[in-house]
Amino acid sequence: MPNIKSAKKRILVSARRKEENTLLNSSLKTAVKKTEKAISENNKEKAQEEFKIASRRIDKAVNKKLVHKNKAARLKSRLSKAINKEG
């Protein structure tokens, strides 16, 4: 356990940030999976709706630096390509 006040604060802050990052990462993965599921079910309207949500979450993750911008672009590209290919 740290004795210095700033070190104690660092522990609290890093724990809070870790929790936020975990939640954001989890919601991102869930949104991508929902989109992929809608695509596999050949439900284009639902897939497009889920893709909007997923792309918003991907962009948020990039802004928080949880996901590299190239990975985000690749994810969005693959999902949109799959949606357009389906129809």
Whole-number pLDDT of residue 1: 84
In which domain, by residue range, is 64 found? 5-86
Contact 44, 15 (CB under 8 A): no
What is the end-to-end Cα distance of the chain in Å, rounded?
Answer: 58
Number of domain units in the chain: 1
Residue 75 corresponds to which tokens in the numbers above?
A: 């994810």
23: domain CATH number is: 1.20.58.110
pTM for the model stands at 0.85
pLDDT in tens, the chain (87 residues): 889 999 999 999 999 999 999 999 999 999 999 999 999 999 999 999 999 999 999 999 999 999 999 999 999 999 999 999 855
